Amino acid sequence: MQRALLLLTAAAGSSALSLSTRVLPSSRALSLSARLPAAHRCTTRLHATVEDEVDLCEVWDASDEEFRKLGCAGPRIRLIAEAREAKQGRDEKRRGAVLSHVEALEKENPTPKPLESPLLSGRWRLVFTTSESILGTRRMRPFRPRRRILQDINAEKLTAKNEEWVLGGLLRNSVRARLEPRDDGATVDVIFKRFGIGWLKLPAPKSARGVLTTTYLDDEMRISRGDRGNIFVLVKEGSSKI
């Protein structure tokens, strides 16, 4: 994807745009929220003792010290731990450890037909990918995306949007796409419709297409594989904005 969706970058392949909020727990929880801008805030659940009660978005945002104090560990948290060590996928030497956790989770996928599930819709935040175009590793440093790379999916409208921020967060790039489901309930054809570079909006060429299969989905984590072999791991930040 020529800077295309996470959902699709692997899928379309060009060097595209680096395409459940919960009630606060008891006072034992460490409040990362107080330090995060409201628009970026995830519910604080860091000190839960059961993995299902931990907010994975907050785990991803935790400082190294806070992460070491986590009150529980489970397969999803172990995956996030490796993704943190791999710097979202930028450290190629550590990708193998992440991928082993990805494969283990895929074998336990609780949602075999994610396209039929309400869990698919939402605002998703990238925690790991093997896609160089999304990570922007070959771009000039000012144009490499910041750590917060987002993807909104609206399963009812079959639309998706990816966003990244460059130039120290001053410039927002985006890409919008239409999704066409296949019969297996897990795979979509991705048709890119529009690219955005700051205020500039450009129609996507007709050749900007891809394929993406969701291989794991629960209420807070999604794993997808593109037709060019790239892998995407995302955690849910909130409701879809499209």
Ordered DSSP codes for 189-231: EEEEEEEEETTEEEEPPTT-EEEEEEEEE-SSEEEEEETTS-E
- 110: tokens are 């609780």
pLDDT at residue 42, as a whole number: 43
Name the residue among 151, 148, 119, 131 with its Cα closest to residue 220. 119
pLDDT at residue 188, as a whole number: 97
Type of residue at 90:
R
Find where tokens 């970058």 sit. 9
Name the residue among 164, 174, 106 with its Cα closest to residue 136. 164
Q: Count CA atoms within 13 Å of residue 138 on its CB side.
A: 9
CA distance 195 to 91: 28
Domains and their CATH numbers in the chain: 6-19+112-238 (2.40.128.280), 33-106 (no CATH)
* CA-to-CA separations, 91 to 94, 95, 107, 133, 216, in angstroms, rounded: 6, 7, 25, 14, 23
pLDDT at residue 50, as a whole number: 63
CA distance 53 to 123: 19
pLDDT at residue 40, as a whole number: 40
List the pLDDT tens digit at each of the 242 positions of the chain: 433 434 333 333 333 333 332 322 333 333 333 333 333 434 445 555 567 777 899 999 999 888 887 766 789 999 999 999 999 999 999 999 999 999 999 999 999 999 999 999 999 999 999 999 899 988 999 998 998 999 999 999 999 999 999 999 999 999 999 999 999 999 999 999 999 999 999 999 999 999 999 999 999 999 999 988 999 999 999 999 99
Q: What is the DSSP string of 22-36?
A: -----TTS---GGGS
Overall pTM > 0.85: no
Alpha helices in 46-128 (DSSP H): 56-61, 64-68, 75-85, 95-106
